[in-house]
Copies of this chain bind each other. A is one copy, B any other.
Amino acid sequence: MTESELYSWLQRYEIQTPKHIRFGLNEEIDVDFFPAVLKVESSKVIHKSDVGGVVVGLHSNAELKEAKEMMIQSIASHGITLEERDGFIVSEMVMGDELYVGAVDDEIFDHVILFGKGGIYLELYKDIAYIDSEADEAEIIRAVKKTKFGKLFEGYRGSPHTLKEAVDVVKKVQKLLAENPQIIEFDLNPIKLTKRGLIAVDGRVKFRDKPKGPKSKRENRPLFLENRSVAIIGASTDESKVGYAIAKNAASFQGELYYVNPKGGELFGRPLFQNVEAIPGDVDMAVLVIPVSSVIPTIEKLVLKNLKNLVIITAGFKESGNEEDELKIAELAKKHNFNVIGPNCLGYYNAQSDLNLTFGSSNVHKGNLALISQSGAVLASLMDKAYSGNVGFSHLISAGNMVDLNFSEMVDMLVADPACEAISVYAEGIKNGKRFLRSIRRSHKKIYVFKTGKSEESKKAAFSHTGNLSGNYEMFKGLLEGVGVKMEDNIEALLFNPTYEVQKIAIITNAGGPATILTDYIIEKGKSLHALTKEEIERLDLAMPPHWSKNNPIDIIGDALPERYLKALEIVDEFEEIDLIYLLITPQFMTDALETVKLLKHKDWKHPVLPILLGGDMVEQAKQFCRSHKMQFFKTLQSATSFL
């Protein structure tokens, strides 16, 4: 596309370009906008500047005419003869700050828009936000505000430009992308911020030869979360086998539960059916814990039992080079319309029907958090951590190789289930990013995501003006945050996200130093400390020793005994302007950490109260007490604030 063609094309989408006129080789140049730029337009000239094909700062038609003559000579001196179809473009010189708006066709997210500082500093400062091509106005504004350059749309240094102008130009690019699905790369750089509005001065677009096919999608799936009958194929009496662990964890299921093992016999008071055919009735959900070679034949039998949902624990598929069997499973699932999680996974848990089909741990507290994990080991260690940290789950899904159900479909299911209040996702990679974004956009539940693969991508110099931005962690983070996901940088934060909103915090402490560090962490997370009112200070004055801090963090001095902690907590819990209280206990000479945490059980507090037990041996008993009494507590200042 020549510059004049590009300008015309942009104007079709109402993207403003500089005033310009194209002149044929022998046409007389006559314009009325100055200063002007003269450029040659010829398919024979690739790099205009190299052959003297660009002249800037021309102030009159006389200067333009002279410049054109010299340009023809200069080009000729490089051995290029211009032809009849070649010509010149004269455009006005536009001054202003430089914006960049571009787009890529990402492997995961399809069309993604980039917005930020343009000009030569684009690559140096990488001050760029990512915007989904389907983003709504609120998402666009959130993204613009993430960039420093975005401040120029909010009055920085008297800049007259508005957020509306930023939103408008992005919306125009969204329209352009929607109407041109074959775009691979698109750059407007720079777009000048002028008094006449935003003017795209230079640009570049690259199309693919044939359009991308749509990503496949299964419709009318059976419900995953409701299962009246469950069969465990490969239930085992051998305690060292995974089939035993699952059978045991599942034993308390409230619906029909069938165990299947060719050896027959009995397990946990139930018969072991020797094969699938022997099961008396339909099987809503089946779990496979059998050798790889038996998986497909068993599925073929299960479909005769009206199978709706299948959990394949068995490993030995794609991760071991066996992609063929995975494809067959996917085909069967489509043909017979059942859902699959796995293969190569840790299983599935649903608190409502007491259905624990995992071999992770039999110790699961019931709660309202759903956790989806692409790694079985991560799920196992989070389950273990959650149990000792007293976190409860509504659902656990070990996604495994994800041969069938993808993240979007799992999120859609969980969003529809009132038992689940929030969803945590551990993701290593996702496939259909656009659909995932749509699922989240529709959802009104809190969603937390931890994604691996940061460094791998950063090594690849992920950001490049022309390069492939696929799998870029920053893009992933930007797009997900755009639709309201909280991106975690600590895996354990997936467990400890509270269901309550936290903005203002109170700290009760027996030591100023650690409270200062805690304050730093809180502020870094964008939360704040409640500023004590005069009245609140007076109430504490009556109960605390004279040198308490008179301030939040509420330092009740190093010699604080449990009673003083209790008194302070009783007063602070009455404060209305707070959302959360940290009880920071450090091992000082007089400290009795155990008795202090015991006092927390005396009362139902109005606010969430989270004890932080710093130190090792000196607070060990207090930690044990919290564990055995299912009290959430933290051992470090960082973990205590990781979920904020």
Contact = CB atoms under 8 A, between A and B. Distances in A.
Interface of A: 120-121, 124-125, 127, 148-149, 151, 156-157, 242, 245, 315, 319-320, 359, 361, 363, 373-378, 380-381, 384-389, 426, 428, 450, 452-456, 458-459, 490-492, 510-514, 516-517, 519-520, 522-524, 547, 558, 586-589, 614-619, 636-639
A491 B511 contact: no
Contact of A512 (B127, B375, B637): B375
Contacts of A120: 157
Contacts of A373: 513
A245 B384 contact: no
A587 B381 contact: yes
A143 to B, nearest CB: 17
Contacts of A636: 492, 639
Given A375-B513, A378-B514, A453-B520, A616 B384 contact: yes
A102 to B, nearest CB: 18
Please indicate which of the listed interface residues A381, A428, A558, A637 has the most CB atoms of chain B within 10 Å of its own CB. A381
A315 B511 CA distance: 13
Nearest to A521: B455
Contacts of A490: 638
Given A388-B617, A618-B361, A380 B517 contact: no
B455 A385 contact: no
B384 A452 contact: no
A320 B492 contact: no
Contact of A381 (B388, B454, B455, B586): B586
Contacts of A315: 558
Nearest to A618: B384
Contact of A376 (B389, B511, B524): B511
Copies per complex of this chain:
2
Given A385-B616, A511-B378, A513-B378, A520 B455 contact: yes
19 contacts: A121-B121, A124-B148, A315-B558, A375-B511, A375-B516, A376-B511, A376-B513, A377-B512, A377-B614, A380-B586, A380-B615, A384-B587, A386-B616, A452-B520, A453-B516, A454-B523, A455-B520, A456-B520, A456-B523
Most chain B beta-carbon contacts within 10 A, residue among A320, A388, A389, A588? A588
A127 B125 CA distance: 9
Contacts of A588: 376-377, 380
B587 A380 contact: yes
A338 to B, nearest CB: 26
A385 B511 CA distance: 16
Nearest to A642: B638
Contacts of A149: 124
Given A124-B151, A519-B455, A618-B361, A586 B387 contact: no
A454 B524 contact: yes
A586 B511 CA distance: 35
Contact of A511 (B124, B377, B452, B639): B377
